[in-house]
Amino acid sequence: MHAADLDENLILLMANGDGNAFTEFYNQTSSIVYGFALSILRNKQDAEDVMHDAFIKAYTSAVTYRPMGKPMAWMLTIVKNLCYNRIRSGRIFEDIDEYEDAAVSDELQDTVTDKAILQQALKILDAEERQIVTLYSVTGLKHREIAEIMEMPTGTVLSKYNRALAKMRKELTGDGGKGKGGRK
């Protein structure tokens, strides 16, 4: 599921107390929400806690939602804020190195077949780069939507995304993707 596929009407139905709409909203977004929380917190337990809190917040805040054609951006903003509140409060677990694999763009999927290698490549990214790659690759959000969520200029998001891909490519190939010049 890509972010653009999320039906905005689900949130409007949730605002009217429709439990089936909430269930559908959860089913369509839970893996994306969890992956994004995990990309920020880098701990499974914290990401699960934030995911649950985010869905409660989304359900209770659905009445304040204003249709703008960006329901996933709205949800991921809730997730981001809850993650940062958790970090600021000190209620996070030590990084126990349980960062799970996240989907990556087709450009990198062609290069990577081993999940362990992908996980290692993701670990070399800083927090912002990891979030941008996760948001772009997992949710299908556009760079300008990611810029809104992360509260930074679109050009900065594009630059960080491209740098992150270059870092990952270098980690995966050992040469920055330029080839080793050896015999075939």
pLDDT, one tens digit for every residue, the chain (184 residues): 454 567 889 999 999 999 999 999 999 999 889 988 988 888 889 999 999 999 999 999 999 998 887 888 899 999 999 998 998 887 665 443 434 344 444 444 444 444 556 666 677 888 888 888 888 877 777 888 888 888 889 999 999 999 998 988 888 777 644 544 444 3
Residue 92 confidence (pLDDT): 63
Q: How many domains does the chain have?
A: 2
Residue 79 confidence (pLDDT): 94
- 43, 73, 94 — which closes off a domain? 94
CA pair distance 143, 66, nearest whole angstrom: 22
How many residues are there in the chain? Answer: 184
Same domain? For 46 and 25 the reply is yes
Residue 153 confidence (pLDDT): 93
CA pair distance 18, 20, nearest whole angstrom: 6
HSE on the CB side for 77, CA within 13 Å? 13
CA pair distance 43, 21, nearest whole angstrom: 29
- 70, 94, 118 — which closes off a domain? 94
The parent domain of residue 66 ranges over: 1-94
Residue 20 confidence (pLDDT): 94
CA pair distance 21, 9, nearest whole angstrom: 9
What is the pTM assigned to this prediction? 0.66
Classify each residue of 25-39 as buried b or exposed e, where b means 16 or more C-beta atoms within 10 Å of its C-beta: bbebbeebbbbbbbb
Residue 43 burial by CB count (10 A; 0-12/13-18/19+): exposed, middle or buried? Answer: buried
Same domain? For 85 and 16 the reply is yes
CB 10 within 8 Å of CB 71: yes
CA pair distance 154, 34, nearest whole angstrom: 24
**Element housing 71 (H / E):** helix 71-89
Same domain? For 89 and 119 the reply is no
H-type alpha helices, 62-153: 71-89, 106-109, 115-123, 127-134, 143-150
Residue 97 burial by CB count (10 A; 0-12/13-18/19+): exposed, middle or buried? Answer: exposed
